[in-house]
Amino acid sequence: GNSVTQMEGPVTLSEEAFLTINCTYTATGYPSLFWYVQYPGEGLQLLLKATKADDKGSNKGFEATYRKETTSFHLEKGSVQVSDSAVYFCALDSNSGYALNFGKGTSLLVTP
């Protein structure tokens, strides 16, 4: 079935460093792709999404591009802040289309 694989964490960066969190997917058809973020003690919230190949999703300085040729949807940010410390989940439509399948999450810690 449709699935995503994302890089293992935890990732520790200094403030203002460049962030990349890798995500690759396996899917039949053309699923939508998502990045969700979970701040400590909270539920997940949508960070950005892309619905077709070559789409770029962006929000709060984060970006990810739907790359069909490499089946990837890597998350990037040019300059991270302490407030970006959270767990980041890559996700895609399940085969049924009635739910999302999530990656295992990547924990990010940004230090001052």
Among 14, 20, 26, 45, binds another protein (CB under 8 A): 45
Q: Which of 21, 29, 33 is nearest to 88 (CA)?
A: 21
Does 43 bind another protein (CB under 8 A)? Our answer is yes
Only segment of 15-23, 64-72, 73-81, 91-99 that touches another protein (CB under 8 A): 91-99
Task: Measure the CA–CA gap between 69 and 85, rounded to whole angstroms.
Answer: 30
Strands 33-38 and 86-93: antiparallel
Does 64 bind another protein (CB under 8 A)? Our answer is no
Q: Give whichever of 18 and 39 is closer to another protein, judged by the CB atom.
A: 39
DSSP for 41-96, please give it.
Answer: TS-EEEEEEE-STT-EEEETTEEEE-BTTTTB--EEESS--GGG-EEEEEEEE-TT
Does 5 bind another protein (CB under 8 A)? Our answer is no
Only segment of 15-23, 46-54, 64-72, 75-83 that touches another protein (CB under 8 A): 46-54
* Binding-site ranges for another protein (CB under 8 A): 31-32, 34, 38, 41-46, 49, 51, 87, 89, 93-94, 96-102, 104-105, 107
